[in-house]
Structure 1
């Protein structure tokens, strides 16, 4: 009970986000709308009473109560007209602030391990308050519904006053059954709610199959492999899983509707007969009888409302609470920000670092020791699963080591704080993001914390070999790199890789001192790749560079090559030294050299689209 009251108070506290003017307007609307039903009853009684009193030809005397009655009706219609716009505006402000908080929580999470968990993704979808079906509601809708409860309370109290003026016994006769009817109705509503929400996963899976059926991408497989009927059967199976329990609840409720109807009709019939008989016998006037009947109907309307609004809004708040507990910085990652990682490049060291991905048991890194010296170009090579990409994610602070530490200039990067550390590092991931922004903005995202430096953007593009691509764009640097944007174009995979490389080089030109490249030229041919690394070596300045590449012909230009195997460094040295040693690196290089001599081109490339 206490938790329910606390949740209701939380909903009301959200109303502050609407602002004083908008909130005051909605409160006035709800208060006045709550007084309209009993006011209508009183105005109707006065009008009928005056009409009964006046003689023929003197109906002008009824003008005042008629105007009063008309004014109440007009006020009711006016309040009804402004209700939805006011409620929508208040709800939009509340939900906007709530969604911004959820987005900020997800975006500022220091690591990404929690974001990869299905439970966290489910909580994000529920907490972001973006309803996808009728059972889901937003905190704003819950807050407005909670405020509307006070309006219905005003209607109940004021209507009870009108009833009490006639006979006090009408209040328990009508109010108690109305309360019981509300509880029965809400119980049935919540059964619907739970039946649907209990199988929400089936709805998601059915939607995924439907999207696959109508999608051009999956449509190729569906047609070529004859999967159409099979996909429809799977979708239908999930739909039955979703709707069969809901239909069972519906059938049960249809069979029990007579009970709720009896709870409502029996006391209403008793009250209305008693009032009507009293009026017929002359014990009460017709005007009083009409006022009582109208007020009695208003009592039942006061017990309306949609419980799903508040239930769904509270569920969204609870999801946000659980999400906050999972994503808020831990004690280790919440170091005070603002401490810089030291001016210029500094040595970075992995010291006995071990790491296992959450939910798995295999150690990806097992006691890794590695030093990245200032100004050095270090190449990391190894077979798939050796831990190369994991090393980069740890170096970027996207994951925390299970044991050991990573230091910069002798200071643990966790102590520096993720924001301060990431100002010193620029990373090009293999699965880079293609932002639907202009060419200039795509490059300048390399350091979004500083004002855009167009000169640095052009220089970074030159170093990445992107200049010729930009010159061919319709609007140059201002061309959106997406066909979905007006005047936009798309790029080939290799051209996008040059954009992302320019993004990282822009970060170096604006303060980063450690450049990390994960397969940065997989979409480029060997000649273009050679030119890119020529420029990279010439323009990296005093920045350190960590390079991961599957092409050993590229990494041979590195100052030092490190071979990972089993989560550890097993070989380290220059290309010449490692080849002369005749170890694992020499074996891998010989295999690739033979493939290249036989004309094998291992780049990953799509058709050029601009």
Structure 2
């Protein structure tokens, strides 16, 4: 385990690590050297006549003074090197941890609650006094090793003056160190056992200060009740901690009493021996100084650093097991040009559940086809999209592109050929241009593809109103930045996906890509997309059936299976579930209902006539 603790320091570099180790070792040896110098100085003072005193004590005095100054100088030199070594070690630890999490090809493991807790623990970002970074444990191990050397040196000095005092002091010093470490471990375990109650308390604390929950708090008078819940969870956590803390304080008092008793057992005989002339004052002085240094060296590193860092390193080791770095897939790649995507007898269940979301699904997406997927909530539409993105692997069956299994292509290769807009898209606090070119962040910025993506997404009018056009930061927290509406953000994200298409992606997947737009704007966006898609296959999921009627083919999912498919006219003539859904929605639009997710109903533009005509 000590080797595991020291591993993070590899990132510090050999030069810095050697310098830090040297300084720590010198600090640990200083108490023994100081005891020798003090003994020599006192011996010269006692044994030399007054007229020769200055000449006799000059060099011992200079040595003793130099050691005292050296103590402060070493502290000044050690602190910046210690800080730099910790920063390098923790930075490397976080980099490797984030790369491992980001390199995981699928989401199954990352979405487990246990994995999220492991990531938080391993993140080396302490939130309370019990948590420590990997560098804390690593430097503590260095200090412990150096302290062992200094401990031995002080014991040797002590043995030279009073050999009998070595076992009297060494055994209790080591025993007390071990016992104190165990006491700290028990205290930390008690604290960690109550973190669940703390998390529950923070839920209510966040709700009290939340603008969203603030309406309920005030309307229903929940403030006092929430404070009561917070107090309940706080007491649930801290009452055991307080009891353990009291026990720990009693142990500390007992430790102090033991230290005092042990030191008196050495100091009193040493002083009596010197007073009676049986030994020199120099010997007594050196014995007293060396004996005290044994106990100070036993506290050279904080046991909390070791206990706290252990949890971080154990979480990291578990994540390395759960999130192995897999070698890149083989050389399989898609041939140049259009490709067909097929779901072949695909079934899927989310990990840890028995419910089959997709059940032996067969589906083909042809090049240049605009395919719409519709269905009730829970039908499996978004799950199908996640499988298509390679974020999950089918429970059974396979998905192919150009005849090659996606598993053989590998996620990185496949994702160069596919572009997606997810329903829960991310709003990056970057400029408008940077938000869009993230669609192909692995390539240099392509101005032509950027302009085409903006035009196809209907983004040009939005850009004209931005203060700095493409260079405007999309966040009020940044200088010159602005905040966009939900619909404008959705056009930014759509342009991001289209930028990838214009940079070579052969499949575009859109999961509710315009839910924040009004019906007419959405209709115009997809009309342009339908006209300009070329050989790019487009998969569209939308709750607005007025938009999917433009699709070449519409697929209705129900219970994880395709129950109806065809063109809009064919499905309307069939008179099945799709036709029923379309009639219900069209009637809602005729009555003036606008189902955008952007703003309150009274702020939503549009008239019943135009919306009904669009439907």
Q: TM-score, normalised by structure 2?
A: 0.94
In 2, the alpha carbon distance for the partners of 1:339 and 1:155 equals 60
Residue 3 of structure 1 aligns with which residue?
Answer: none
Residue 353 of structure 1 aligns with which residue?
Answer: 346
Q: Which moved more, 1:596-605 or 1:50-59?
A: 50-59
Task: State whether structure 2 residue 511 is matched by structure 1 residue 515.
Answer: no
The answer (yes or no) to whether the contact 2:161–2:286 under 8 Å persists in 1 is no
SS in 2 for 1:114: coil
In 1, the alpha carbon distance for the partners of 2:62 and 2:215 equals 71
Task: State whether structure 2 residue 143 is matched by structure 1 residue 148.
Answer: yes
- TM-fit CA distance, 1:494: 0.4
Q: Which moved more, 1:259-268 or 1:165-174?
A: 259-268
Matched residues, number: 599
Task: State whether structure 2 residue 34 is matched by structure 1 residue 40.
Answer: yes
Aligned ranges for residues 167-178 of structure 1 at < 5 Å?
Answer: 167-178=162-173
Residue 88 of structure 1 aligns with which residue?
Answer: 83
Residue 328 of structure 1 aligns with which residue?
Answer: 324
* Distance change (3 Å), C-alpha of 1:306 and 1:91: same
Residue 318 of structure 1 aligns with which residue?
Answer: 314
Return the match for 1:72 from 33, 45, 67.
Answer: 67
Task: State whether structure 2 residue 177 is matched by structure 1 residue 182.
Answer: yes
- TM-fit CA distance, 1:540: 1.9
The answer (yes or no) to whether the contact 1:110–1:329 under 8 Å persists in 2 is no
Residue 533 of structure 1 aligns with which residue?
Answer: 526
What's the CA shift string for 1:409-463, capped at 9, x where partnerless? 1111111100000110001011110011111110001111211112211221111
In 1, the alpha carbon distance for the partners of 2:562 and 2:213 equals 42
In 2, the alpha carbon distance for the partners of 1:115 and 1:29 equals 42
What's the CA shift string for 1:142-195, capped at 9, x where partnerless? 110000012211221111111111121111011001112112211211111111
- TM-fit CA distance, 1:262: 3.8
Residue 50 of structure 2 aligns with which residue?
Answer: 56
In 2, the alpha carbon distance for the partners of 1:27 and 1:404 equals 57
Q: Which sections of structure 1, spanning at least 5 residues, go unmatched? A: 1-6
In 2, the alpha carbon distance for the partners of 1:269 and 1:415 equals 75
Q: Which sections of structure 2, spanning at least 5 residues, go unmatched? A: 604-615
Task: State whether structure 2 residue 267 is matched by structure 1 residue 287.
Answer: no
Residue 606 of structure 2 aligns with which residue?
Answer: none
In 2, the alpha carbon distance for the partners of 1:446 and 1:471 equals 22
Residue 106 of structure 1 aligns with which residue?
Answer: 101
In 2, the alpha carbon distance for the partners of 1:254 and 1:69 equals 37
In 2, the alpha carbon distance for the partners of 1:212 and 1:55 equals 80
* Distance change (3 Å), C-alpha of 1:469 and 1:190: same
Aligned ranges for residues 290-439 of structure 1 at < 5 Å?
Answer: 290-304=285-299, 305-328=301-324, 336=329, 339-439=332-432
* Distance change (3 Å), C-alpha of 1:229 and 1:567: same
Task: State whether structure 2 residue 557 is matched by structure 1 residue 564.
Answer: yes
Q: TM-score, normalised by structure 1?
A: 0.95
Task: State whether structure 2 residue 458 is matched by structure 1 residue 465.
Answer: yes
Task: State whether structure 2 residue 605 is matched by structure 1 residue 605.
Answer: no
* Distance change (3 Å), C-alpha of 1:55 and 1:310: same
Q: CA RMSD in A?
A: 1.6
- TM-fit CA distance, 1:226: 1.2
Residue 495 of structure 2 aligns with which residue?
Answer: 502
What's the CA shift string for 1:331-373, capped at 9, x where partnerless? xxx6615532222221111111111122222211111111001
- TM-fit CA distance, 1:538: 2.3
- TM-fit CA distance, 1:224: 2.2
In 2, the alpha carbon distance for the partners of 1:459 and 1:59 equals 93
In 2, the alpha carbon distance for the partners of 1:239 and 1:399 equals 39
SS in 2 for 1:541: coil
